[in-house]
A and B are shown apart, each in its own frame.
Chain A
Amino acid sequence: MISRKWYETEGPDRDVVLGSRACLIRNMTDLPFPSRMSRSDMERSRMRVEHALCRLNPAVKEKFSCVDLEECDECTAVSLVEQQLCTPEFIAKPTGRSLFYSADGGISIMVNGADHLHLQLVQPGYQLDETLSLADKLDTMLDRCLRFAFHNDVGYLTQSLTDLGTGMVPTLQLHLPALQQGGAMERLSRDVAQLGFSLRGIFDGAVEPAGAVYELTNRITLGISEKNEIQNLKSIGRQLIDRERYARTDLLKAVEVQEAVSRSLAMMESARMLEFREFLKLYANVRMGLCVGFVKGLRTEQLDSLLFAVQPATMALRSGKPLTPQQRQTRRAQLVSSTLVPAREI
Chain B
Amino acid sequence: MICQSCGEHPATTKVKAIVNGRLTEYALCAACARRLGYTTLLTGLDRGFSSILSDFFGGDNAEPGEQRCPWCGATFEEIARTGKVGCAHCYEVFKDRLLPIIQRLYGSDIHCGKMPGENLPQPQPQNQMVLMREALHQAVEQEKNERSTLLLQESLRRLGGGSPDDQS
Number of A-B contacts (CB under 8 A): 206
Contact between B28 and A150, CB atoms less than 8 A apart: no
Q: Is the CB of B26 within 8 A of A207?
A: yes
Binds A, one of B16-24, B130-138, B141-149: B16-24
Contact residue among A158, A193, A196, A204 (Cβ-Cβ distance under 8 Å from B37): A193
Whether the pair A204, B19 counts as a contact (CB closer than 8 A) is yes
Asked whether A198 lies within 8 Å of B112 as measured between CB atoms, the reply is no
Q: Which of B83-103 contact A (CB under 8 A)?
A: 83-89, 91-92, 98-99, 101-102
A sample of 27 inter-chain contacts (CB < 8 A) reads A27-B88, A74-B22, A78-B18, A88-B17, A140-B117, A143-B116, A148-B116, A154-B102, A161-B46, A161-B49, A161-B85, A161-B101, A161-B105, A162-B45, A165-B111, A165-B113, A166-B111, A186-B36, A189-B36, A195-B41, A206-B4, A206-B17, A206-B38, A207-B26, A209-B36, A223-B110, A312-B20
A311 touches B (CB below 8 Å) = yes
Q: How many Å lie between the Cα of A237 and that of B3 in the bound state?
A: 30
Chain A residues within 8 Å of B37, by CB: 189, 192-193, 198-201, 205, 214
Which of A29-37, A101-109, A257-265 is the contact stretch? A29-37
Q: What is the total number of residues of chain A having a CB less than 8 Å from a CB of chain B?
A: 83
- Scoring A residues 85 to 123 as 1 if CB is less than 8 Å from chain B, else 0, what string do you get? 001110110000000000000000000000000000000
Partner of B113, one of A81, A155, A161: A155
Within 8 A of B (CB), among A35-55: 35-36
**A227 touching B120 in the complex, CB below 8 Å, given contacts A91-B23, A151-B91, A162-B42:** yes
Minimum C-beta distance from B98 to chain A (A): 8
A105 to B25, CA, bound (A): 26
Chain A residues closer than 8 Å to B23, beta-carbon distance: 74, 77-78, 81, 88, 91-92
Q: Mark A210-241, 1 if CB is under 8 A from B, else 0.
A: 00001000011011111111000000000000
A143-B116, A161-B46, A312-B20 given; A35·B84 CB < 8 A: yes
Are A88 and B18 closer than 8 Å at their CB atoms?
yes
Could you say which residues of chain B place their CB within 8 Å of the CB of A150? 115-116
Q: Are B120 and A164 in contact (CB under 8 A)?
A: no
CA distance A209 to B26 in the complex (A): 14
Decide: B110 and A219 in contact? CB cutoff 8 A: no
Is the CB of B121 closer than 8 A to any CB of chain A?
yes
Determine the chain A residues whose CB is within 8 A of the CB of B87 once the complex forms.
31-33, 36
Q: Does A153 contact B (CB under 8 A)?
A: yes
Q: Is the CB of A32 within 8 A of B113?
A: no
* Cα separation A256 to B102 with both chains bound (whole Å): 52
B12-56 near A? 1/0 per residue, CB < 8 Å? 000111111111101010000011111111100110010000000
Also in contact, A33 and B86, with CB within 8 A (given A88-B17, A206-B17): yes
Q: Is B157 an interface residue (CB 8 A)?
A: no
The answer to whether B112 and A219 touch across the interface, beta carbons within 8 angstroms, is no
Q: How far is the CA of A5 from the CA of B152 in the complex (A)?
A: 73
Q: What separation, in Å, do the CA atoms of A163 and B105 have in the docked complex?
A: 11
Minimum CB distance partner of B15 in chain A: A206
A194 to B43, CA, bound (A): 11
Not counting A161-B98, A225-B114, a sample of 13 additional A-B residue pairs whose C-beta atoms are within 8 angstroms of each other reads A33-B84, A36-B87, A136-B119, A147-B116, A151-B92, A156-B111, A159-B84, A189-B34, A189-B36, A190-B35, A196-B40, A198-B38, A277-B20
